[in-house]
Structure 1
């Protein structure tokens, strides 16, 4: 998904290795972001924000729906560019048609992962299909490390088989958890999984102590190691823990997306749909997009590409995490 804000903030997202994370679970609230005009979809953005800009290499998290497509108009994101990142699309309901400048024509469906690597430059479009009545899911970005941030374009698709546990199920789309490992390639160690919890159920998961984790709750009140995280909130868990205990505090099924990775050691600059290292690099990517260079073309989309917003006139200002 594109960040279609007309005046996107330019952010310097700092490495957190010099920070002293709190011992408990930090609860982050989302901000509402409209994607387009008056009938546009609204998304709830929990990453990046002033309190926390990265969880591992995860640098962007939008959570949307359930949206009645008859009212919202669904998703129709024209071709737009990316550099320096991987996009991770994960749906709970509905269907999205994906086309990119690799020539990929694929569909995002519930329980199926679409991962696209931007690297030096790619562009793609995303449109909800005519049969979609309710659209509901998450769109996530992963920052590429310096060594691989100019890598070539790529697209991967994976359908995980849910692991059934006593208190719920786990669908691992990236990394390893609950005895399952995704075959999808990433450039830093990552964890991405959908976890469902039965009413009143508890699941204890063995996790990598080097990872920090984010628990993005979609439905139900979920206690994360004793701290309640409510729908649309993101619970941040610092590294150093070998077990995560998730409890559904409601009488209905709960659902969440679990993200993780070791603290990202590099400082990145994010603006619009670009992840870079400097203002000049971002400005060059914008110029390349506007003159039709570098990113290739999307074939099969009925409409013009998205124009890039104007760059801000102010210099980059670091936004560091709260200690």
Structure 2
């Protein structure tokens, strides 16, 4: 099968060796696996982080967002059958989806939304699960809850922010305040349902006070947490909750003590990395998201279509992700 891989980590994305095409054997499903013929993929920041930072002894396939058709199932699979259309994000400890075929444990896959084409569906799995887990599992917001409280989403125009904004607006009573620094990204966040949009390149406290908001009960730190951290502590209410998904070099929890603020890490890959007893939760989230999409409650977060799945187009997508100027999700389709 055709695959796009890297062999040497840390190369600049402009180097043709940073991602290149090769032929690999078609994988064989293990008992709980689906063998998926991949038709569309999305590119995420984690793809670039792995390519740049993780050494490998053999050519490695990255990519953690895919849509395709189940070609075969393992002996223990009960939730899917050959011919099903699925979407999934996969596991960090298995080969990724920059390939014509992929394997995924049925407990972390979902049936593709019926109302979406492949490209629009590929934009959803990783960010939907991250946003859902962050909002409901980590921060502990109840569906239909949050009345009188506010959620500040730092980096609301990115992939996770784009779906988190919708989930919070549609499924809770929280006042949703997103941050974005450019006119086009601010408009994007408004269209996704944020009640208010502020500029994270300016002091957050002053931006919130201009809205008449003194502090917020919840903050979702999706990007540049290290730079924003003192301001986050300032704007969080006493006994507030702070959820983080990015990778600050350090994060001193002591400033949170005075306000008794709780810190919550979210990593969508944790359940599959450790095969936790509740790993099936990710299948359930994807099924729920598909139903919400098909009902018109949520919309896809596709930002830009980068063409067919090949090394040149993937290098372009990685370059845009690394620039920090991506809006929504970057998707590729077909080999």
TM-score range normalised by the length of the shorter chain:
under 0.3
**What is the TM-score normalised by the length of structure 1?**
0.28
More helix by share: 2
Q: Which has the larger radius of gyration?
A: 2
More strand by share: 1
Higher relative contact order (CA 8 A, sep 6+): 1
